[in-house]
Copies of this chain bind each other. A is one copy, B any other.
Amino acid sequence: MSDVSWSEVEKEIARAAFEKAYEREIAVLIEEVRTQVTSLAELEDLWRLNDFLSARRHDVDGKYDYRYAVLVFVFSRLVKEGWLQIEELDGLEQTKLSKIAALSRM
């Protein structure tokens, strides 16, 4: 299975792309939290922030799964959500790239 077989070069590209997406998403998340905090006025706002963080934590923890067996799916999601451009995966096998591109449009 080409999905689970990654060359050393592919692994380097994958790792760099993965970390780039991760850093982008975290930076945006931190900005979102800062914005929410500027308008904190009452207890309900705090609990809303708490719920927001719990949901994002669940989401981020599940999404950034760096196992080669699932990485094509992880990348397709990151592309779909805009954290990664498909071009940033240039250098991966064409079969992987096609699959990622196709899945990202679903």
Contacts and interface: CB of A to CB of B under 8 A. Distances in A.
B60 A53 contact: no
Contacts of A5: none
Interface in A22-38: 26, 29-30, 33-34, 37
Q: Chain A contact residues: over half helix, strand or loop, or mixed?
A: helix
B53 A47 contact: yes
* Copies of the protein in its oligomer: 2
A98 interface: no
A71 interface: no
Measured as residues with beta carbon below 8 angstroms from the partner, the interface class of chain A is: 10 to 19
A34 to B, nearest CB: 6
A42 B30 CA distance: 8
A49 B51 CA distance: 11
A43 interface: yes
7 contacts: A26-B43, A29-B43, A30-B40, A30-B46, A37-B37, A46-B53, A54-B54
